[in-house]
Structure 1
C-alpha cells in the first residue's frame, strides 16, 4: 500500500510540475514570433533489436514493391541524429514495446542494454506497450527505476539505473482507480508547451500473462485520450500528440508512406479521439503507413506507424501559432524514413550493440540442429501452420515425462519463421523469445473442448477474433466456422480415439495459456500442474534430438468454412 500511495503522489507531483513549468515558460515567449516549427520523431516496437534484424523483419518494402535492408540500433540512432540536425526544435518518442519478445542480445541481459540504448538516444517519452509488462509489473518497475535483484542480477553492467525518460500510459490504473504511471508529459520548445499523451492497449490484460499484472486495469483508449487532452488544454497546453500502442493491418501491401488502412482499432480510435490532439503515432501491428484521417471536428490529422524493430523513423513536422500555442493543422507534413544501411552507424550505439553481441555470441551462434525445408507461421485454411505444429510437438515431447498426451500453443507466442539449413540458438530464440515456462495440466475432455471454443472471441471493438492454437501430433478435431460460437469444435480425437468429456487428459501449454492468457480462461480449471522446462528449451531439444527436422503435416484440424 505504501508503494502505491508513493507512486500515486509521484504521478500527481510530476504532472503538476510539468504543468507549472509549462504555464510559466510559455508566457515569457508567447509573442516573440508568429510561428514555431517543431519536428516530432517516433519509432515503435523495437523489441530489443540492437543488431540489424534477421529473417522477414530484415527488410522494408518500398513504394515500388522492392525491398531494402533496414534496421539496427546504430543505424536507427544515426538517422535520428540526422533528422534532428535538420530541425533544431525536435522531440523524440517511442510508441512502446521497447522490450519484451526481445532479440537474444537484449533478453539475455534482462533488456538492460535496450534501456541503456534508449537513454543514450535521449528520447523524450515512451508509451507503455503490452510487451513492457511481459515479465510483470515488478520487473517493469525495476527496468524503469533501476536496481539489481537476486532474480535479475545486473549482468550487462555492474549497476543499472533504469530509464531517464518517462514511461507513460494514461489508461493504466490500479484496480482501485489510482493511476499506475504518468498519463502525459509536457516538453517546452522555445517557450511553447508541447504535450504528449501515451496510451497502452485496452486489451493488455488479455494478451499479457495475467498473474504479473493482476492488480492493473487498462481503460478505454478514447476516454483516456479525451480526458487527458482536456486536462492539458485546461492548463494551456494546446499542441498535443498521442503515442497510441494500437495499430492496424493494411488492406494491401504498400510503401512506407502509403495509406492502405480502411478499418482497425487505431483508425477507429483516431476517428473518435479528441480534436485537441494534433498528431497520432501508432504501434503494435508492426506495419508501415502514413495516413490522414478526419478528427471529430472534421479536421485532417496525421496517423502513422513505422513498421517495427528499428526499421523506420516516423516524422511529423508541425507548425505552431505562437499566439494560440496550437498546431496549425493544415501545415503539418509527415513521412516515414526508412532506416537503411547506407549511412554511417552511430559509433556510440554501435559500441553498445557490439558489447552486447560479444557477450551473447557464444550462446547465440550455437547450432541446435538442422532443418530440411522452411517452417512458417502461415496458416493453412486459417488454422494450422508448419511452425506452430512443430512447436507443439516439441512441447509435447518436453512434457512427456510429466504424462503429457496433448500440447497446445498460442500463435502470438511464435514470433519468427525458420529457413532451411543450420538452426542456431539465436534463431530458435527468435521463434520463442518469451522464455515462457511450460506446464502440464490435468483437464477433462469437456474443459479441453471449452478451451478450444475460446479460440473464437469477441474483441474489445466488438468483432470476432480468432486465435487458433497449434495442436501436437496425435490430437485432431473438426473446426466448423459456420456453426454458432460456442459450438464450433467437434470430433476431438487422441490417437484416433474419441475424447471423452469426463475423461482426464494431460495437456502441455505455456504458463501464459495456463494462466488464462489470450482469453483461454477454461484452462484455469486444470488440476495437478507440473513444470516442464521452458518453451525455448523444448524447441531447441526437438531440433537437437531429431535433426534433420522436416516440416510436420498440417492435417490435425479439419476445417469447415
Structure 2
C-alpha cells in the first residue's frame, strides 16, 4: 500500500480480499494505526493509505437506515478538469469472503449503487466519470490484451447498464485482459476494459474533454493494454524500497519449516484433484484431530501458488520456507470443524457444480469419492468412503475446512449449516505444524478422487 501511494495511485475500488480480515481492518488500512494483534511494522505506525478505497455498494446499518460503509466516490482534478471516480465491488462478496469479515455489511447491486453515485457526482458539477468495479468478464485462454473476445461473466451487464453519465468502466476480479467498446443505455460508446492481474498489464485510457460542458467526448475514448516487460531500467527508489522490506522480513520469510521430496503443485488430475490441495487438507485434518475431526476438504481457490523442489534462495533444494508457505495460503483463514450427516456430506460434494462452474474440493487422504461429469448436476458423486468404509447417510461425520468454506464460501452452503462448529488454529499455522510433524512430505498420488 505504501508503494502504491508512492507511485501515484489515487483511488481503488475495494475488492473482496480487502475484507479478508474484516471491516475494521479495512478502515485501519485506509485511515492508519497499528494492527490490533500484530502491532506496528518495523517502519512504525501506519499512516493510512495515500489513496481512497471506494465502495459505493458497500453499506452498513445506522439509525437512519443504510449508509455508506466506505467512501462511494472521489474527485480528482486532471489538467484543470474535474474527474469523478466511483468504486463498486462484486455483489457476490458474501459468497467469497468469510462471514465474520463482513458482519453488519450489505453489498448492493453494482449498477444501482454506481447510478446513485453518478447522480451525486453530477449534483457536484462533475461530468467526467469513471467507474472502477471489482467485477468483470471472462475471456478464452487465447484472448489478447487488446482484444474483446469475452466469454461470459457479470461485468458486461454492469458496463452496459450503468448510468449513461459514466464514461468508462475499468474492471477487475476475473484476472482477464480485454479492451471493449460497449453501448451505454443512451446508445453512446463506452470503454470497458480490464488489465489482467498481478501487474502484468497496465491499462492506459486516453480521452478528450469538452471544457465547455466538462464531459468526456465519447468518440475520443481510447484504451490500450500495455503488456509489462522486464527490459526497462529499474527505478532506483523502487529498488531501494523493495530491498528495505525484503531485509526487514527476511529472517521470518527465510526460516525453514520442512522439506518436500518433489514439486507439490496445483496441477489437477482428470478428476480435478491436486497434490498441494491434498497436502493442505491433510494438514488441516491433523490440526483438528484432537477436536474430533474425521475428514477434511480444501477449496482450490485458496491455494495460490505451488511448492517447488528447486531452491528459491539460499535455503537449498527441497527446503520449504515460511515465506513459501505463506505464499501458498496468504489469507489468514482459521481452520474449524462441523458435523454433517453422511447424506449432507453427499450434498456438499454435489455442490462442486452448484453454480454452473466446477469447483472440486480437495480431500484428506481418508476421504474418497467418484465423480461422473456425464451425469446431471446434483447426481455426479458416488462411492463416498471414510477410512475405507462406505458413508452411512444417517451417521454424523466431523468435517474439517477453513472458515471461508465453513461460512458457505464458493457456494458450499451445506458447510454453513453444519452442527457443533469448533474453530482451531490458522490455516498457515496448521500447514507449518504439519511440516514440522512430517519432516519431509512427498507429492501424494492423485487417487483420492476417481472418475472423470
Taking structure 1 as the reference length, the TM-score comes to 0.73
Question: SS at 1:296's partner residue?
Answer: coil
Deviates more, 1:473-482 or 1:180-189: 473-482
CA contact 2:352–2:360 (8 Å) conserved in 1 = yes
Length, aligned pairs only: 441
CA contact 1:446–1:502 (8 Å) conserved in 2 = yes
CA contact 1:386–1:554 (8 Å) conserved in 2 = yes
Distance change in 2, residues 1:156/1:313 (3 Å): farther
Paired with 1:260 and 1:437, the residues of 2 have a C-alpha distance of: 39
Counterpart among 460, 468, 478 of residue 370 in structure 2: 478
CA contact 1:281–1:304 (8 Å) conserved in 2 = yes
Q: Which residue of 2 aligns with 1:388?
A: 277
1:286 correspondence with 2:178 = no
Q: CA deviation at 1:196?
A: 1.1
Question: SS at 1:454's partner residue?
Answer: helix
Q: CA deviation at 1:179?
A: 1.6
Paired with 2:267 and 2:66, the residues of 1 have a C-alpha distance of: 41
Paired with 1:497 and 1:470, the residues of 2 have a C-alpha distance of: 19
Alignment of 1:165-184 (within 5 A): 165-175=51-61, 176-184=65-73
Alignment of 1:257-272 (within 5 A): 257-272=146-161
Paired with 1:401 and 1:443, the residues of 2 have a C-alpha distance of: 18
1:297 correspondence with 2:186 = yes
1:371 correspondence with 2:260 = yes
Structure with the larger helix share: 1
Distance change in 2, residues 1:262/1:452 (3 Å): closer
Paired with 1:429 and 1:149, the residues of 2 have a C-alpha distance of: 18
CA contact 1:156–1:356 (8 Å) conserved in 2 = no
Question: SS at 1:378's partner residue?
Answer: coil
Taking structure 2 as the reference length, the TM-score comes to 0.90
Question: SS at 1:369's partner residue?
Answer: strand
Q: CA deviation at 1:382?
A: 5.5
Distance change in 2, residues 1:402/1:338 (3 Å): same
Alignment of 1:541-556 (within 5 A): 541-546=433-438, 548-556=440-448
Gaps of 5+ in 2: 311-317
CA contact 2:271–2:371 (8 Å) conserved in 1 = no
Q: CA deviation at 1:122?
A: 3.0
Q: CA deviation at 1:483?
A: 4.5
Q: Which residue of 1 aligns with 2:324?
A: 427
Paired with 1:323 and 1:255, the residues of 2 have a C-alpha distance of: 37
CA contact 1:201–1:246 (8 Å) conserved in 2 = yes
Alignment of 1:126-205 (within 5 A): 126-175=12-61, 176-205=65-94
Paired with 1:255 and 1:485, the residues of 2 have a C-alpha distance of: 33
Question: SS at 2:398's partner residue?
Answer: strand
Counterpart among 395, 398, 401 of residue 509 in structure 1: 401
CA contact 2:336–2:421 (8 Å) conserved in 1 = yes
Q: CA deviation at 1:482?
A: 4.6
Distance change in 2, residues 1:382/1:324 (3 Å): farther
Gaps of 5+ in 1: 1-113, 459-463
Q: CA deviation at 1:242?
A: 0.9
CA contact 1:313–1:336 (8 Å) conserved in 2 = yes
Q: CA deviation at 1:172?
A: 0.9
CA contact 2:271–2:449 (8 Å) conserved in 1 = no
Paired with 2:126 and 2:49, the residues of 1 have a C-alpha distance of: 25
Distance change in 2, residues 1:378/1:222 (3 Å): farther
Question: SS at 2:368's partner residue?
Answer: strand
Paired with 2:127 and 2:271, the residues of 1 have a C-alpha distance of: 46
Answer 1 or 2: higher relative contact order, Cα 8 Å, separation at least 6.
Answer: 1
Paired with 2:171 and 2:36, the residues of 1 have a C-alpha distance of: 36
Distance change in 2, residues 1:492/1:305 (3 Å): same
Q: Which residue of 1 aligns with 2:345?
A: 448
Paired with 1:296 and 1:553, the residues of 2 have a C-alpha distance of: 54
Over residues 91-142 of structure 1, what are the superposed CA-to-partner deviations in whole Å (9 max), with x where a residue is unaligned? xxxxxxxxxxxxxxxxxxxxxxx2x223322322111110011000111111
Over residues 231-280 of structure 1, what are the superposed CA-to-partner deviations in whole Å (9 max), with x where a residue is unaligned? 32344322111111012332132443233324222223212223322221
CA contact 2:258–2:436 (8 Å) conserved in 1 = yes
Q: 4+ residue stretches of structure 1 with deviation over 6 A?
A: none
Question: SS at 2:3's partner residue?
Answer: helix
